[in-house]
Structure formats: structure tokens, C-alpha cells
Structure 1
Amino acid sequence: MLWFKNTLILAVSTVAICLVVSVPASYVFSRKRFRGRKPILKILVLLYSFPSVLSMFAIYRLLSPMGLVDSKLGLILIYTGTMAEFGLLNMKGYFDTIPLEIEEAAAIDGANNVQIVTRIVLPLAKPSILVTAVQILIYVWNEYLFATTFMTGAENYTLAAGLYSLQATEISGSWPIFAAASLVVSLPILIVFFSIQKHMTSGLTAGGVKG
């Protein structure tokens, strides 16, 4: 349950920060035309295509002087840096599918920019936002590489790292405990997934990256 608590803190914090950053950023990249927009998007796609393991040493060199190695804040920053980019690219594609005429009609009726975004655009983009949030949650919930590299000690383990430690070897592994822990890990994600299943198709298929 301690590992469950650690993972829950990491997951909720990462999802919240990623959405706060990526929702407005994706809307701006979708609706605004500014200098450097397309090159920035191409750079983001290029960076996201690199395997995360290639950045391990660089991340360690960045976090170590700040004392963020072996801390939850350090892991949250790593996860946010990875998944906020994914959220931006995924939701930008969905915002592109929302007709601009809807916003223009609302503006003619007297709605200001904040009202247009909060009362019209965000409700229409709900499927994409929910799917993005769940995908970020699943990533953090199952992430193993960074959790074992930047966190030491059983008290700091996440669920993924803890599960591995329970069945590290066939001799020392406790399979009944491992089976019970696997259920604890799987059930929350299954519940969340099935609760938003009706939004999955539209949220994923309309979330492609567009120019």
C-alpha cells in the first residue's frame, strides 16, 4: 500500500500538471498562427520520437545538482516533461477538428475569449482531454525505468518497481504476494478505463497531429 500511495501521488500530480500545461498550449497551436509555429511542432515530434533511455544520463546530470534525485518531485518533473509534450500533440489534433465557425458564432453572440474556451471549446474537447489524461495516468502507473533509476529504497518504490522486486528471482520471489499486488495495481486502471470507454474512440481517432 505504500507503493500504491507513492504511485498515486506521482500519477495524480503528473496528470494535473500535464493537463494544465498541454490543454492551453494545444489550443494555441491549433488556433493561432505565429512565427515558428510549424518548426516548433516538428521539433516536438522529433524529440518525442527518441527513446527515453537515451536521455537518462542527461536527466541525471540536470537533477543531481538540484538534489532532485531520489525524490518524488524529480520523478514528477521527468514524467511531466515527457507526457506534457504527448498531451499537446494529441489534443492539438482534436482542437483542429472543432469548427472555427462555432467560436465565431459565440463571439458574435457576445461571448469573450475566456467564455468561448471554457463554455464551448473545452466541453467539445472533453473526449480528447479524458483520453489524454488516462494515457498519462497509465504511463506513470506502469513506468519502470525512471522509477528504478532515480528512486532507491523499498519505501520509495512505485508499484511497477515494487512488483518487480516481489518476483525478482524464482527462489526469493513470493508468488502469492505478487499475485495479490498485481490485482491492486491492475484494478484502479481497469476501473478508470472502463468508466471512460465511450470516449476512447473519438478521443484517439481525432487526436492525430495536423499541420
Structure 2
Amino acid sequence: MMTRKTKTTIGLIFLNIFFIILCFLTLVPILYAVSVSLNENNSLLSSNFSFIPKNFTLQNYAAVFVEKPIMLWLKNSLILATSTLVIALGTGIPAAYVFSRKSFVGRKLILRTLILLYAFPSLLSMTALYKLLSPMGLINTKVGLIIVYTGTEAVFALWNMKGYFDTIPHEIEEAAMIDGATPLQIVIRVVLPLAKPTIAVTAMMVLIYVWNEYIFAINFMTGSDTYTLAAGLYSLQATEMNGSWPIFAAASIVVSIPILIVFFALQRNMTTGLTSGGVKG
């Protein structure tokens, strides 16, 4: 008769096998794109297709940087992502702390209004945003797109950070105050270090949103020199329907690399818990 420990071990083995298979299935589209990007033949679907390219070549990746303005699109995306990230976190984090720690008239009404606005489909607000930005000359400009992105992501940062600040015990701040710390020092030296994991997750979510967003980008940015990476890929797909799918696949892989680098750089902070931070503090 199997012991409880043996049953637990067998259960964990099957669970690990299940997740390995699940991870492989989720990687199939990525592996497919990599295979197409390394294939010299211009084929997307064929009966003799294999994940290992029969006509291996790196020419498609070279064509991405030589024939397509990928570096210009990368520059535009970096400017938009960095600006949106700084403004959204710079306004969302202080606002989240205030809403978490302070009580004032209209607090609940403001929070409910913000969540209602955030839940409103952005696609339905496109016409209104266009009419608001057009008289100010902000259409086809990075500033206009940053305003649109920040308006959405600042609310997300506020709500995401507020939920985390609510879980931080008030006793930690009270202890710091007894030790002579000022309110500003409490926030900078106590609260923010504890909130580092959530700040990392929030920053990552904001970055992914801006990096992948293309609906506003293709409608508010009309020139190819102002395209973001997502908008550029969309236009590339539209023009490559009868062209080179391997080049499009290569461009898709190249666009994904910066996000992967940022994710692995933030992975340690994203997996750090509140309890360990409190103990170390």
C-alpha cells in the first residue's frame, strides 16, 4: 500500500509532466515562427513543412534591418514606452498610496469613477479622443499617443498599486515613525522597498501594453516614419500578403526580444514576496 508521501510524489510528477506538455503547446506558435523565419523558401503552410528548416538561412533577419525601417519603429516604441511608463508610475504610485492611506470626501466616488472609465472599451472612445486631440495638433505626434496611453495606464497603476498598499500593515509605518522617520522617509525607505515586486509587475504590464498596442498607433500615426513596432508589423503584414512571410516572421521575433530581456531582468523582483521584504526590513 502506497504511503501518503509516495502518493504526493507521484502526483507532483504527473503535475510536472502536465505543465511541461502545456508549456510545449504554448511554444508551438513561437517555434513555428522561428522555423519560418529561418527558412529560405517563401512558404507559410505546406505539406512538407518541418520545424527544422530544410533551407536554413539568416538572410530574412538581415532583410529586416536592411529593407525595413525596424530600427526607426524600435526608436518610436522605446520613446512611447519609456515616457508612458515614467508618467504612469510617477502619478499612479503616489496616488495609490494616498487613496490607500488617507480618507477624504469623495474618495470612493473617485475610485469607482476611475475603474468605470478604465473598464470602458478604448475602441469606443477612439472617435472622442481623435476629436479632442485633433484641434490641439496632437494627431500624428508622439505626445498625443503618450497622452492616450498614460490616461489608460495611470489608472491601471493606481488600482494595482493601491491593492498592494492596502496589504502593508500600518504597524510597519508606525514603527518607523516612532524611530523618528518623516512621512517622506517612510514612503521612500519603508513602503516602496516592500512594494518593489508589485512595482515591477505594474511596470511590466504597462510596458507590454504600450509595446503591443496597435489600434491607436495605426489610427493616430499616419506616416510610416512615425509607426511603432506593433503598427509597423501590422503594415508589414498588410504589404507582405503576397510577399515574404519569412521576413515577417523574422521581424516578429526581433520585436519580441526586447520585452523578453526586460521580463528576465525583472523576474527576480516579480517573484519576491511581501513577507520576505518585511522580514529583511
**What is the TM-score with the length of structure 2 in the denominator?**
0.70
Q: Does 1:14 align with 2:84?
A: yes
CA distance in 2, matches of 1:179, 1:5: 20
**Counterparts of 1:34 and 1:171, CA distance in 2:** 57
> Is the alpha carbon distance of 1:110 and 1:144 closer, same or farther for their aligned partners in structure 2, counting shifts above 3 Å?
same
For structure 1, the 5+ residue unaligned runs are: 204-211
Q: Cα distance, 1:142 vs. partner?
A: 0.2
Query: Tell me, what secondary structure is at the counterpart of 2:187?
Result: helix
| Corresponding residue to 1:200 among 270, 273, 277 | 270
Displacement of 1:195 in angstroms is 2.2
Choose the corresponding residue for 1:139, options 209, 212, 219.
209
Q: Please tell me whether the aligned partners of residues 14 and 79 of structure 1 are also in contact (alpha carbons under 8 angstroms).
A: yes
Task: Evaluate the alpha carbon distance shift between residue 171 and residue 28 of structure 1 in structure 2; reply closer, same or farther with a 3 A threshold.
Answer: closer
Match of 2:194 among 95, 101, 124: 124
Superposition deviation, residue 154 in structure 1: 0.9
Residues 166 and 174 in structure 1, CA contact (< 8 A), matched pair in contact too: no
Q: Helix, strand or coil: the match of 1:97? A: coil
Question: How many Å separate the matches in 1 of 2:168 and 2:241?
Answer: 56
| Most deviating of 67-76 and 38-47 | 38-47
What is the CA distance between 1:171 and its match in structure 2?
4.0
Give me the whole-angstrom Cα distance separating, in 2, the residues matched to 1:171 and 1:74. Answer: 31
Equivalences for residues 19-168 of structure 1 within 5 A: 19-168=89-238
Give the SS at the match of 2:166: helix
Against the structure 1 CA distance between its residues 174 and 30, is the aligned structure 2 distance closer, same or farther, given a 3 Å change threshold?
A: same
Give the superposition deviation at 1:173: 3.6
Partners of 2:191 and 2:203 in 1: CA distance? 17
Tell me the secondary structure at the aligned position of residue 67 of structure 1: coil
- Corresponding residue of 2:261: 191
- Kindly report structure 1 stretches of 4+ aligned residues shifted beyond 6 Å: none
In the alignment, the residues of structure 2 paired with residue 9 and residue 174 of structure 1 have an alpha-carbon distance, to the nearest angstrom, of 29
Change (3 A) 1:166 1:52: same
Residues 51 and 173 of structure 1: CA distance in aligned 2, closer, same or farther (over 3 Å): farther
Aligned residue for 2:39?
none
CA contact (8 A) 2:141 2:221 kept: yes
Write the distance in 2 (CA, Å) between the matches of 1:93 and 1:202: 17
Q: Which moved more, 1:159-168 or 1:169-178?
A: 169-178
Tell me the percent identity.
Answer: 71
Q: How far off its partner does 1:50 sit?
A: 1.1
Give the 3 Å change call, closer, same or farther, for CA 50–109 of structure 1 in structure 2.
Answer: same
Q: TM-score, normalised by structure 1?
A: 0.92
* Aligned-partner Cα distance in 1 for 2:255–2:174: 46
Greater RCO (CA < 8 Å, at least 6 residues apart): 1
Structure 2 unaligned blocks of 5 or more: 1-70, 274-281
* 8 Å CA contact 1:167, 1:174 repeated in 2: no
2:246 is the alignment partner of 1:176: yes
2:129 maps to a residue whose letter is I
